[in-house]
Amino acid sequence: MKLLEGGRTGQIWQDGDTVVRPSGAWTPTVHRFLRHLRSRGFLGAPDPIEITGNQEVVGYVAGRVCEDLSDQFVGSERMLLSAARLLREFHSASQGFLESDREVQTWMLPPQEPREIICHGDYAPYNVATVDHEAVGIIDFDTAHPAPRLWDLAYSVYRWAPLSDPANPDVAFGLDEQLHRAEIFCTAYGATMEDRLQLPEMICRRLQALVDFMLAGAAAGDETFMEDVVAGDARLYLSDMDYVRSNRDRLLKALC
């Protein structure tokens, strides 16, 4: 087996055409959802195979995964367009699961109202598989949960623009380019004018929910969240919320 890099270091392994990774209380629901996606013709997600003990086995989604948007391969406009379209295809395929699934549903993240679809919850470059400069698949559905489409779109724009202070050395683009990329993503996704007008505040709501979840997990003794808080992740998200709010008018002008 080959150890895969990324989140939860040392816990995710590739075994041929499958991936072995830790499971949680939400995994049975997620596997039913993944089967729903395949029944709707969406093949850009892992094939759910089995759950054994505290592990799950899913199909391997082929492609390159990289979160560094300064990498020309990941940060290109072609990649941005394909990522937005892939998200829209996923959202369309996710419809109907809430109505058709008859079993008790358990999610890692709390559902958000209105429960329009099942959102991925973390649609960022590091969770998207790419081939030939285009996004072709999505991985890591642990954070999937019911929510409005805009809840997922807002976080995705935040990650792919990305809407973080360029003073951060890890941010690849200045504000003007971030705004341009945000507009490209929204247009390729098919965002409505109402979506665009709500986007800045929805990004902040999504980030606040992420911070709240992270701090609650750390307070409950979750080692991963404790490490994230110590590393300053919560402070970074709060700073990005301030950045989005301070540039709200420019963002709305670019989007609308």
pLDDT tens digits for range 50-71: 999 899 999 999 999 888 898 8
Residue 2 has what pLDDT?
Answer: 72
Distance (Å, whole) CA 147 – CA 115: 4
Distance (Å, whole) CA 173 – CA 163: 9
Cβ atoms of residues 96 and 107 within 8 Å: no
Determine what percent of the chain is predicted with pLDDT higher than 90.
Answer: 85
Residue 26 has what pLDDT?
Answer: 97
Residue 32 has what pLDDT?
Answer: 98
Q: Is the pLDDT of residue 9 over 80?
A: no
Residue 1 has what pLDDT?
Answer: 67
Q: Is the pLDDT of residue 10 over 70?
A: no
Q: What is the pTM of this model?
A: 0.95
| Residue 41: φ, ψ to 5° | 90, 5
Q: Name the E strands within 159-235.
A: none
Q: Is the pLDDT of residue 73 over 90?
A: no
Nearest of 54, 42, 168, 158 to residue 97 by alpha carbon: 42
Residue 53 has what pLDDT?
Answer: 87
Domains of the chain by residue range: 2-59, 161-256
Secondary element (H or E) of residue 230:
helix 223-230
Note the pLDDT tens digit of each residue in 223-234: 888 999 999 999
What are the structure tokens assigned to 100, written together?
């058709």
Residue 169 has what pLDDT?
Answer: 77
Q: Categorize the per-residue pLDDT at 15 as very low, low, confident or very high, splitting at 50, 70 and 90.
A: confident
Q: Is the pLDDT of residue 7 over 60?
A: no
Higher pLDDT, 238 or 8: 238
Amino acid at 168: N
What are the structure tokens assigned to 221, written together?
């003794």
